[in-house]
Amino acid sequence: NKIKTLTLSLAMSDPSNAMSSLVESDVNDLKQNPPPWLINIEKPIKPKYKCPETHPSPTDAKPVLENTNGDEMRVRATVRPLLRDATDFKIPPIKVELDVNINSYPSETSLPRLWIRSSLSAIESTGGGIHPKFYDAIRNSSHKGNNPIETVLWHFVHRYLRRNADFEKVKRLRFQVGDEVLANVGNWEHGTVVAIWDEGFPYRIHLHDIGQDVHAPCDMDDVIKAPPKMPSNLNNSLDDDDSWPEEAKISQASWMEDMRNWKNAYEFSKNSPEKELFDKTFQNNKWINPKVNKWLCDGCCNTPDFVEEISPNIFSFQLFTTDFCNAIISEYERCETLASQTKQLRIVRPNSMNNYGAIMKNIGFQSLIDIMQDEILAPIAAALFPIVGAELTEQHCFLVRYAPGEDLGLDMHVDESDITFNV
């Protein structure tokens, strides 16, 4: 079984006491009086490294990232996407991180920069970042929070995720079953809508000339549109802020993909016999090697004595117990069986090189892996790799299966990650 953690070092520096206290005070106010959409906000920290505006070259990385001037602080928060319409599955919370430049705080000219820690399809190629127009739009917005941190978080929930916040309107589709449409399948093909909200997609369309059904991933004119003689009642305004730029919000196609993934994960996990795997806590005493657990409980202050360096920068140690490994394998095999029996459920394979296995978040393990990353893997990575492992901001976790007649191994390759954990 392989668990791989992709990381992006995001950090901030040691600010002056006065500005640091202001940031801490603003965060504490939010913690004491949280708005309905704020699940949790953590105490600001002063990490050893800061996040640059642009990616530094390898030769400049160390001096750029070292937090020598105390310019930044970091705040992590968890927010609740707003839904006006009920769903038959649970929408998971979204984890974010804010970089606060204390030299300009609380000025609106330099707003805290937000990074998305949770897995969203819209940010898979951006390292968790949001388009710069998001911040320009905030400055022009009429909504102002009690402080810049609240302001950025409010606009993330109410504007960036507004496709979600107005889900009720998105569900009122332009076409109904029986309507004639044009579908974009690389070229425009005539078809008939035969189902709506099918397997999480807004439309299933039967193509006349090809004679097969396809799904439209979203209800937009560049994907599905009315034939020339049929009027369209498309309403491009999804909320009351028509001036909010498209680049500053999640696309409808990305949001619908995330909705399908969340529903898929929920369906896999809802009847699992391994209930503990889906709790909001990690059973350290039951699942973690006692030596590792003791080191974590003692504060991670000393060099890990349970680790053997088998080659330069390659370390080996026992992390999990047999009980935990067996539970994971059993749950994965149950999901494979479900997917083979139910066409609505799908197993997302790890990558283009492996034909067997699964991306863990897509079968319900997102919360478990997030907890594992923050509470267990992050301290170990920081101890073994003090620079690149100083912060684990995001991860890509998957399980692969090797067996006779299936995949037998993996060719030589390079992981696109700062730290990789193989189990």
Q: List the chain pLDDT tens, one digit each, 423 residues.
A: 444 443 333 333 344 566 678 889 999 999 998 888 898 999 988 877 776 665 555 555 555 577 677 678 889 999 988 764 445 567 788 899 999 888 888 887 789 999 888 877 766 555 567 888 889 899 888 888 888 999 999 999 888 886 544 444 444 678 887 788 999 998 899 999 888 877 768 888 999 888 888 999 888 888 999 988 644 332 333 344 557 888 888 877 787 788 888 888 888 888 889 888 887 778 888 899 999 999 999 888 888 889 999 999 999 999 999 999 999 999 999 999 999 888 778 888 888 788 889 999 889 888 888 888 888 999 999 999 988 888 887 788 899 998 898 888 888 888 778 889 998
Half-sphere exposure (CA, 13 Å, Cβ side) for 297?
A: 9
**Spatial distance between the Cα atoms of 167 and 164, rounded to a whole number of angstroms:** 5
98 near 112, Cβ under 8 Å? yes
How many residues does the structure list for the chain? Answer: 423
**Spatial distance between the Cα atoms of 379 and 367, rounded to a whole number of angstroms:** 18
For the record, the structure tokens of 195 come out as: 């189902």
pLDDT of residue 6: 38
Collapse the DSSP code of 157 into the 3-class scheme (helix H, G, I; strand E, B; otherwise coil) and give the result: helix
Sign of the CA dihedral running 151, 154, 155, 156: positive
**Spatial distance between the Cα atoms of 42 and 30, rounded to a whole number of angstroms:** 10
For 244-303, give the DSSP string.
Answer: S-GGGS--HHHHHHHHHHHHHHHHHHTT-S-GGGGSSS--HHHHB-HHHHHHHHTTS-SP
**Spatial distance between the Cα atoms of 375 and 338, rounded to a whole number of angstroms:** 31
pLDDT of residue 380: 93
For the record, the structure tokens of 177 come out as: 């079953």
Q: Which residues, 6+ apart, have CB-to-CB distance to 147 below 8 Å? A: 26, 29, 30, 106
In 3D, which of 176, 175, 186 has the Cα closest to residue 210?
186
User: Taking the C-alpha atoms of 217, 264, 372 and 6 in order, what is their torsion angle to the nearest 10 degrees?
Assistant: -30
In 3D, which of 137, 121, 63, 67 has the Cα closest to residue 99?
67
**Spatial distance between the Cα atoms of 77 and 93, rounded to a whole number of angstroms:** 10
For the record, the structure tokens of 154 come out as: 């409010």
287 near 325, Cβ under 8 Å? no
pLDDT of residue 225: 92
13 near 67, Cβ under 8 Å? yes
CA distance from start to end of the chain: 6
Helix ranges (H only) for 129-251 are 133-140, 148-155, 162-165, 167-171
Collapse the DSSP code of 55 into the 3-class scheme (helix H, G, I; strand E, B; otherwise coil) and give the result: coil
For 76-93, give the DSSP string.
Answer: EEEE----SS--SSPPPP
Collapse the DSSP code of 341 into the 3-class scheme (helix H, G, I; strand E, B; otherwise coil) and give the result: helix
Helix ranges (H only) for 350-416 are 366-372, 378-384
pTM (global) more than 0.85:
no
**Spatial distance between the Cα atoms of 269 and 107, rounded to a whole number of angstroms:** 45
pLDDT of residue 165: 42
In 3D, which of 254, 277, 249, 252 has the Cα closest to residue 265?
277
Beta-carbon neighbour count of residue 7 at 10 Å? 23
